[in-house]
């Protein structure tokens, strides 16, 4: 026993030593380590690698227990990329931008914003070239802005128009006994339609068709301008799949050169006047962004605050992909009380979520508006709860392809009564009052409980519509007529007065500055997320080299299966009445 005790003590001692040594290295690195700045050589080309760029905002993190680990942001957000491209236009060392086999995780509105920035860059007289082995529709939309588009001779390209697919589960529920009890307001609130029907309703088909056509028309118009191809011809190419091979794509002027990648690089060398046997200088866009964006917040005293609301809306602190009550309300309060901040731009990219949290954020914006102007910039989507937090702003900007509206409310309750009864599971309740138990998934949904829940949904819907009516200076009936959970594109939302102007975040910032008569200003970004030290092991900050549980699951399950599990997890975690987008939309 003494021997085993000595072995155990030795093992524990080694573990403690390794742990302390590991943290000691981290602390010394944080205190004394310096990060090398990117050196941009003469005659360089920016490589527009977007594989790590998903969100508008890369995030700032505050570890209370170990403040020396705090950082000023990863500089891996789309806004950092846009700022870097803007700076590169006037950087004499940068001669052009290469879009090489790009992998895009951005939404359509984000891609549009990036595309517009590349258009501005081209006006500086510098080149933008693109090469693809395989081009998805969204990737081609971005690449079509280039001076020349190259495609691999045995590569592939998608150009076929937009579509979306919705799965319906009513028959599955009837056969298995697994059922979702649905309470909703809004005939277009189709988030719950798959649990109520076996096929798509005319209302849902109408709204999907409308906004898909609107988004496609916006994309086709941009491509038409860049490639000098009439929109009508682009529609014919898409309908008949006339770009299904590289040569067909070239014959229809969608690409310029069908060649292997070495030819692409040789052409860049010729533009740079670099010898064929030499390599040309490159710099990664994120490395470039770290330096050009580094000191932006301190360039002038007077500031415009940009507060990012990206992801589903829920309680708690929030994170890069969750609009949390804690970080949002704290950010609004800090910006409101900072004398150097003169106006606020709220950048929204959210499908909505918790109705309660949406209302709490709405209230914080209402308080802030009394002190400083609040201007909203909508990204890929600002729907349902995402629109709820936008509706009372002083001005709302959206892109043509922004998905917005979805002013409707629903609640869902899983019911297992039929399947539990089928397999001999019996649940017995004991209660002091007839409604004490509320709801149990092992008993049929009682009519009284359904009525009480419907009453709550109706009350939230009434509040939602009233908030929109007050914010948009419309009557309740005017909002109700275009609400009912219906989804609109940004261009349609403008006609319906749900937004004020079509434009990107730069337009919203410029408008906010004009409201407070600022000509010389800088921007400061929020939120700064409060983190526990344990969250370091999630792969952020200095521990980014560690494999996270997320990374391991993705490797084992594959990206698509992992995302499906995350959606189910998100659905199970929802509490209370939801103001959420009817469905998830991904356009390739």
What DSSP assignment string belongs to 134-177?
EE-HHHHHHHTTSSEEEEEEEEEE--S---------HHHHHHH-
389 touches 372 (CB < 8 A): no
Neighbours of 321 (CB within 10 A): 14
Residue 426: what pLDDT? 87
Residue 543: predicted pLDDT: 46
Domain-by-domain residue ranges, the chain? Answer: 44-160+241-290, 295-410+461-580
- Tokens matching residue 56: 């508008």
Radius of gyration for the alpha carbons in the chain, expressed in angstroms and rounded: 27
| Helix/strand/coil percentages in the chain, nearest 5 | 45, 20, 35
Tokens 């998100």 label which residue?
A: 570
pLDDT in the model for residue 540 = 46
Class of domain 295-410+461-580: alpha beta
For domain 44-160+241-290, the question of CATH label 2.40.30.110 is answered with no
d(Cα 544, Cα 455) in Å, to the nearest integer?
47
317: tokens are 């602190």
In the DSSP assignment, the letter for residue 512 is H
DSSP secondary structure string for all residues of 272-332? HT--TTSPPEEEEHHHHHHHHTTTGGGS-SSEEEEEEEESEEESSS-BTTEEEHHHHHHHH
- Name the token pair of 569: 């997890």
- Select from 54, 58, 59 the least CA-distant residue to 327: 59
For 30, other C-beta atoms within 10 Å of its C-beta total: 16
Residue 279 CB neighbour total at 10 angstroms:
9
Give CA–CA dist 482/468, Å, rounded: 11
β-pairing verdict for 127-135 and 94-100: parallel
Angle formed by the axes of helices 202-227 and 231-239, to 10°?
A: 120
Cβ pair 468, 190 in contact under 8 A: no
Supply the pLDDT for residue 544.
45
Per-residue pLDDT at 547: 45
> Which residues is 127 bridged to in the sheet?
96
Pick the closest to residue 492 from 253, 218, 277, 300 (CA basis). 218
Best CA proximity match to 165, nearest among 205, 218, 195, 217: 205
Q: Rounded to whole angstroms, how far apart are CA atoms 456 and 446?
A: 16
**182 in Cβ contact with 169 (< 8 Å):** no
Contacts of 271 (CB under 8 A, 6+ apart): 95, 96, 127
Residues 6 or more apart whose CB falls under 8 angstroms from that of 549 comprise none
Same fold, 44-160+241-290 and 295-410+461-580: yes
pLDDT tens over the chain, length 588 residues: 555 555 555 655 555 455 445 445 544 444 444 456 778 999 999 999 999 999 999 988 876 655 555 555 567 899 999 999 999 999 999 999 999 998 899 999 999 999 999 999 999 999 999 999 999 999 999 999 999 999 999 999 999 999 988 889 999 998 888 888 888 876 666 668 888 899 998 888 988 899 899 999 999 999 999 999 999 999 999 999 999 999 999 999 999 999 999 999 999 999 999 998 899 999 999 999 987 655 444 557 899 999 999 999 999 999 999 999 999 999 999 999 999 999 999 999 999 999 999 999 999 999 999 999 999 999 999 999 999 999 999 999 999 999 999 998 888 888 888 888 888 888 888 888 887 877 888 888 888 888 888 898 899 999 999 999 999 999 999 999 999 888 999 999 999 999 999 999 999 999 999 999 999 999 999 999 987 765 555 544 444 444 445 555 555 555 555 555 555 555 555 555 666 665 555 544
Q: How many whole angstroms separate alpha carbon 314 and alpha carbon 235? A: 40
Residues whose CB falls within 8 Å of the CB of residue 55, separated by 6 or more in sequence, listed in order: 77, 78, 308, 310, 320, 321, 349
β-sheet bridge partners, residue 312: 322
Instruction: Return d(Cα 572, Cα 367) in angstroms, integer.
Output: 33
For the chain, the farthest-separated pair of C-alpha atoms sits apart, in whole angstroms, at 87
First to last CA, the chain: 64
Q: Are 159 and 132 in contact (CB under 8 A)?
A: no
**Looking at residue 128, what is its pLDDT?**
98
CA–CA gap between residue 445 and residue 413 (Å, rounded) = 9
pLDDT at 76: 87
């Amino acid at each position: 026993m003494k021997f085993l005790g000595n072995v155990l003590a030795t093992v524990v001692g080694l573990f403690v030593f390794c742990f302390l040594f590991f943290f000691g290295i981290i602390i010394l690195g944080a205190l004394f380590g310096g990060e090398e700045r990117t050196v941009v050589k003469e005659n360089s080309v920016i490589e527009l690698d977007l594989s790590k760029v998903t969100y508008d905002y890369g995030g700032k993190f505050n570890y209370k227990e170990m403040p020396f680990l705090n950082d000023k942001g990863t500089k891996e957000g789309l806004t950092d990329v846009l700022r870097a491209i803007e700076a590169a236009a006037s950087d004499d060392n940068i001669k052009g931008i290469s879009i090489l086999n790009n992998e895009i995780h951005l939404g359509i509105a984000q891609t549009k914003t990036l595309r517009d920035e590349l258009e501005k860059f081209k006006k500086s007289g510098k080149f933008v070239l693109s090469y693809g082995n395989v081009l998805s529709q969204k990737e081609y939309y971005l690449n079509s802005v280039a001076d020349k588009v190259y495609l691999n001779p045995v590569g592939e390209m998608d150009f076929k128009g937009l579509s979306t697919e919705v799965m319906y589960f009513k028959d599955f529920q009837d056969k298995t006994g697994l059922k979702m009890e649905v309470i909703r307001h809004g005939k277009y609130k189709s988030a719950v339609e798959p649990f109520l029907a076996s096929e798509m309703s005319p209302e849902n088909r109408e709204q999907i068709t409308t906004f898909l056509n609107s988004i496609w028309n916006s994309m086709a118009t941009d491509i038409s301008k860049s490639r000098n191809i009439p929109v009508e011809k682009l529609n014919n190419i898409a309908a008949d799949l006339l770009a299904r091979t590289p040569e067909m794509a070239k014959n229809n002027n969608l690409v310029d050169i069908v060649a292997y990648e070495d030819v692409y690089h040789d052409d860049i060398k010729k533009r740079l006047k670099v010898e064929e046997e030499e390599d040309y200088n490159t710099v990664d866009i994120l490395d470039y962004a770290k330096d050009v964006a580094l000191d932006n917040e301190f360039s002038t005293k007077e500031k415009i605050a940009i507060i990012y609301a990206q992801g589903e809306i829920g309680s708690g602190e929030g994170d890069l992909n969750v609009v949390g009550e804690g970080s949002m309300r704290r950010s609004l309060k800090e910006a409101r009380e900072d004398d150097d901040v003169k106006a606020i731009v709220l950048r929204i990219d959210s499908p909505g979520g918790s109705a309660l949290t949406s209302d709490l954020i709405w209230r914080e914006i209402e308080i802030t508006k009394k002190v400083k102007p609040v201007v909203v910039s909508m990204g890929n989507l600002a729907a349902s709860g995402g629109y709820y937090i936008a509706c009372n702003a002083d001005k709302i900007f959206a892109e043509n392809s922004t998905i917005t509206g979805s002013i409707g409310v629903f609640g869902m309750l899983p019911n297992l009564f039929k399947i539990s009864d089928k397999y001999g599971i019996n649940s017995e309740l004991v209660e002091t009052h007839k409604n004490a138990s509320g709801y149990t998934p092992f008993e049929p949904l009682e009519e009284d409980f359904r009525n009480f829940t419907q009453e709550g949904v109706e009350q939230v819907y009434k509040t939602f519509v009233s908030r929109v009516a007050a914010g948009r200076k419309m009557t309740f009936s005017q909002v109700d007529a275009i609400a009912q959970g219906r989804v609109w594109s940004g261009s349609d939302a403008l006609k319906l007065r749900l937004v004020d102007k079509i434009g990107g975040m730069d337009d919203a910032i410029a408008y906010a500055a004009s409201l407070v008569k600022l000509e010389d200003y800088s921007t400061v970004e929020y939120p700064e997320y409060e983190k526990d030290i344990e969250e370091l092991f999630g792969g952020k900050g200095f521990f980014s080299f560690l494999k996270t549980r997320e990374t391991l699951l993705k490797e084992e399950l594959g990206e698509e299966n992992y995302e499906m599990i995350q959606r189910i997890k998100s659905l199970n975690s929802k509490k209370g009445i939801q103001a959420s987008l009817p469905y998830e939309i991904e356009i390739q």
